[in-house]
Amino acid sequence: MKKKSVKAKPSDSPITVIPREQHPISRKDISDNALKVLYRLNKSGFQAYLVGGGVRDLLLHKKPKDFDIATNATPEQVRKLFRNCRLVGRRFRLAHIMFGPDVIEVATFRGPHDQVESNDRNQSHKAQSGMLLRDNIFGSVEEDAVRRDFTINSLYYGIEDFALRDYVGGIADMEAGIIRLIGDPETRYREDPVRMLRAVRFASKLNMTIEPATAEPISRLAFLLSDIPSARLFEESLKLLQSGQGYSTYKLLCEYHLFQPLFPLIQRGFSHGGHSPMEKLLVQVLKNTDHRIQNDQRVNPAFLFAAMLWYPLIEHAEKLSQEGGLQYYDAFALAMNDILDEQCRSIAIPKRYTTTMRDIWLLQLRLPRRQGKRANKLMEHPKFRAAYDLLELRASIEPRYELKELVHWWAEFQQSTPPQQRSMISALGSELIRRKTRPRRVGRIRQNRNNS
């Protein structure tokens, strides 16, 4: 990719301008809706650039998930140009142009908030920790470039001349496979701690290396994630674990001490060797999720979280049963509430997912009870398949013959004809085998963990 360096007049900072004939980005690879927005802004006298991950992915010959636009038009000016526009956000004021399910996000160029004297907290406001609570100071494209997070996300594709503009060395870092934060890393992380998660996610997703100065403060500042709203961290957790590189992302999260603020319940159960049943199940469900995504198969966050939290759940249920003298089923029901309440303090899992998680968990207690009409009723449960998949995962982790036997029985039952199914149920006999209805006792789990 040939480059031509010129000077940017407003800030007199060197930029690299790559003409259309010297870069691979083509309009045919950009969504029609994004092009409509770019053209209308440009024809109305405004600057308009495709920017961020869309440009980065096009340069890496990947298909962008979305197309973001930066402009010198204010959000109110954008709204006047587009009837299908709505303004969103208080922390960062943005315009969303709605084309049915397709949303094109338009942001006004940001300016240097620390040089603006204003008592208007709706424009710019920082917390004592350094976190930006408001950032609606507008500026030029050159100022916007240095306000973005990583160099590889600060590349601008202009609709007027189809040239590519690089103000911060993003092209060089992309070619070198480096994730580099723009500006002082600690200051930028304090402004928005989620940038630490983004650094890890991009490193894993793009198979790149986090530049040493960018990486150094992460472990020290991981605690700042506790200041981030739990609803925002839920969305970030999906990007981290359901990107198709969830397992490699998980390893980086652990390396930089970022996993604990997201999943404190799971972190507590980690062993020195990493060979506890919980850790084995966590690794396997992440690998399975990656495989499904890479093969364009659907994934459900509820199943992922249900599997990840299974062992913390049964450990807590056993504790409640022993200390409170409760029947195990009652203790299990209380434990589900406690585990979900605690996990949702860090990651606010929506109710539509926690409801499914409860179904998957409760079915683990019901699947061993197959006598009479129970087996057929269980098969009719809308979450049966997800529950069976978790049972199968558990059987691959735990060295229990009865669990493997149960998985084999259900696998055969699902493939059998009605007469064969009736015969299989009859062969079970009428006696309930209670030891099969209860997950492995926590004492044995702890013993395995200590041995590892």
Residue 49 backbone phi and psi in degrees, to 5? -135, 140
Mark whether 184 is an active-site residue: no
Mark whether 149 is an active-site residue: yes
Mark whether 290 is an active-site residue: no
Per the residue annotation, which of 57, 68, 166, 192 is the catalytic one?
A: 68
Residue 52 Cα distances to 65, 154, 220, angstroms: 11, 6, 27
Q: CA-to-CA distance for 334 and 320, rounded, in angstroms?
A: 8
Residue 94 backbone phi and psi in degrees, to 5? -130, 155
CA dihedral 341, 343, 348, 349 (to 10 degrees): -90
Whether 120 contacts 28, CB under 8 Å: no
Per the residue annotation, which of 57, 135, 149, 290 is the catalytic one?
A: 149
Report, as residue numbers or ranges, the catalytic residues.
Answer: 66, 68, 149
